Chains A and B, each alone.
Chain A
Amino acid sequence: MQQAIEILVGGLLSGAIYALVALGLTLVYRVAGILNLAQGAFVVLGALAFYSLETSAGWPIVPALVAAAAGVAVVAVVVALVAVRPALGRLSIGGILILTAGILTFFQGVALVIWGSNPYAIPAFSGEAPIVVLGVHVPTQGVWIVAALAVTDLALALVLARTTFGKALRACGENPVAASLMGIDVARMTVLAFAVAAALGALAGAIVGPLTALAFDTGSFFTNAGFIAVALGGIGSFLGAIAGGLLLGVAEQIAAGYVSSLFSPTLAFVILLAVLVLRPDGVLGARARRIDVPQAFERATPVLRFGGRGGAAIFAVLAVLVGVAPLVLERTGLVASLVIAGVFVLALLGLDVLMGYAGQVSLGHAAFMAIGAYATALLVMRAGLPPLVATAAALVLTLVVGAAVSGVVARLRGLYLALATLAFGLLVDSVLVGAADQTGGPSGLTGIPSFSLGALSVHGDVASYYLVWIVVAVVGVLLVDLARSDFGRALQAIRADQTAARALGIPVARYKTYAFVIAAGCASLAGSLYAFDFHYLAPDLVSTPRSLELVTMLVVGGQGTLVGPLLGAVVLTLLPAVVQPLAAYKTVVEGALLVAVLLYLPGGLAGILAWRPRSRRRGALAATPAAPR
């Protein structure tokens, strides 16, 4: 009994932290209709800033708390002004979600540069000795956590109910267009909401610090927890955020206490996926409805084509470059990087079909790489299958999983689809870590043999290079043909306007499944090749951060052209290898590039090279009167 109560208390304490993060997410969602994936970064920035002030600079606790929260709020205002505000009304909901993922990446990189990669332990505010209540041990920090949640709840409730700011904020949440017609500056409210949410997050981070190890990349953990809490409670509901957070904390502790600590995250993600798909309003049915005018989020998609003689010339030059590259670069050590780049190009070709053509945002693409990679490695190592057979079997498995996932998420659109794919990715991550007997768990799988076909074995960088790039070329040619046929146009029609697509006889759900399966298949092949080349697999290499990196590469390279994957993967893989000083700033640069390209270069790098249909007039949505003929 006492153990049960301690588990419950522990669950409520971690749940309170999740609730604080979730409150921040909800606040921003209510005002701007954005789920801010960067919220976790504010949590970690707050905690690390607090650590520096309190432990290193010797400030008293309360001033350090206030200063950390205020500092992070200022940072958030800058972020909101520079990166988020310009995106409102220009990017799709999925685009803005990716943007905030970029901001998360950026700040994880910044934290890495400032605080290094070692985890920090913040001393408890009121001593380490737990309070004993009726035989139940409660850490003193728990009192701080509960107090923080209570105070912020009360403050938030008062502000929302009593102040003009609160009313304006709720108006933005209910009907942004009407709110702006009533003279409320929705963009300014968004910036304010970001600041308040960031301060809340920073506070949460500083206070939870003593109970958890904090490192530069803990931010995504907090983002995930907050986002699960929000989804459980119903996206957009403040009460739901608190309830969802507490629920998640308790569920996790119970699973860890009674089932297995390795699988407790898996359980959380299964619940999450089920809720997103079956009860998108949350288990409490408390989702606040927003009335958004969809056109406000439509951005005129650039038309980029690589057709004609110019395209053929570019293709020929590329083919020669790819063919001779290892001969020229053999001594530089860059060939190994080019092998990895090729693997990413392969995965990205599929992602481009799914995201660039069909318009379905996927934040869990690396999960398909993981399935392909682990299945291949295990089939070769444990079942002794020849590499080619193992690769094919892994491909079939991934295709089946891809079709199943597509079937499950088919009804979801926009934000919910992106979140469901994120949840799927996290689920696969947690299974890889949890099934340690098979996968080697967090420490990974070593000793994967090279690819071989009969007596022919692919050893060394140059041989791997040709293997990978030949596969890239074959898949690339097939997909380019497909994309420039009826299939590609049908997918683009679905991305542009599902109603119009259906009215023209395009079976939308079936074509989305095709796109999903193609994406999964490419990722599976990429994963197999990755395993053969690297001889080593670990969850880190093919988990959610990798999914976000793949999205970054695709966006930077340019979506919807099948040329972008090549540019994005090669540039982002080679940049840190060529410019060594950049390596330390890799994460910062990736995050910043993603944000900048989303905002200012809608066609990505491919957009610079592409032949653009000659009229470059902007404001495509503005109807101009018909010119006399």
Chain B
Amino acid sequence: MNQIASQNAPSPKVVVPHFIFGALTWLMVTILIIFHPEAFTQHYFNAELLAITHLLVLGWITMIIFGALYQLLPVIMEVKLYSETLAKISFLLMAIGTILLSLAFWHFSFGPLMFIAGISIVISVSLFVANALLTAHSSNKNVIERTFIVSSVIWLLFTVLAGLTLAINLSHPFLKVSHVELLKLHAHAGLVGWFVQLIIGVSSKLLPMFMVSHHVNTKKLNFSFYTINIGLPIGIIALYLQYKIGVVFSAIMVVAGIVGYLSFLLASYKKRVKKQLDIGMKQSALSFVFLVIPLFLIFTLLLNIDFLNRLTLPLSVAYGSAIVIGFITSLVMGQTYKTLPFIVWLKVYQGKVGKVILPLPKDLYSEKLAIAQVWLFAIGFGFLLIGISTTNTTLVMVSGILLLLSVAFYNLNILKIVLHKPTNK
């Protein structure tokens, strides 16, 4: 008999703090957008945008991914998490590192504070990577999802090491390449190597499971894996050597890989048994619609179209925002409703069936709040993109208010879920 996946689940004490820290960080970011909209309407290498970006990618997205992965790796690999202690230490170091790094960026200070923050993040990531790889190692499930996850965590380590190198280079310059070009290299290693690959690995297992889609051909995912992992290193080297054709070739490869993945998801969607999508899956679907925006923008930016030249800088910020906020944030918010209620529900009700009233996991949060959250997010993100593209700070500020309301509703639901108590019969 196979082991049941829920027997491998880690303690919620390991997982839940990641969700709470992540949700509060995202709330903090929306407040910063309201009070500092100019961060989004200048050159992307500005103190405020660097601080906001790192809060988003480390404090919000990576934090939630770490927490969710501690729960999901046992589901995907069908083994227990290697170490809960490593996970707890990694959480603390990531939380401290992110706060210090954002403060250092905000004050544009590249001294010891940034160095300490960088070291703290590198150690946190190293512990996470060791934990993930040792968990994967103990699994005999040699599937493409596992390959994507293993590759993504290695790219994460590369990304934070590159980030630390850049931080040192800012205070003690030793690299001959322009800092802006190095920033693109660091950003794409993180966005594509870490986030996109991790999302492909996890979602290609979970989304068909949530939709109950059987017999979906995974060959397209093999294609995606090779195109991304050949295309991305070519792009990194080409960016370092400033070899434009190499960057364009890399973009074509990576986008082809992402299209292959989207085609796999579409096939899963068409074969789904569960026809009605719940609110978590609807926001996730929305995130894939938003993903189309950066896929177009990347070629618009690379092709240097004459009449768009004066828009290069705003479109670059729009491109990054469309990936980080439009795609990844929206997906993380949606998938929170597919993971956190189940984590808490299992913890509260396992072993208590028959003794207490058993609700459904979806009863742990308010669906009305979740629906309002999705609408506010979609409209807020629309305003943000228009505000960035037209360098209109008022529109960016309005987007910040809408996103703040969306995140406030999201946080209320998270609070409702983690504070859930059973009702006796």
Do chains A and B interact in one complex?
A: no
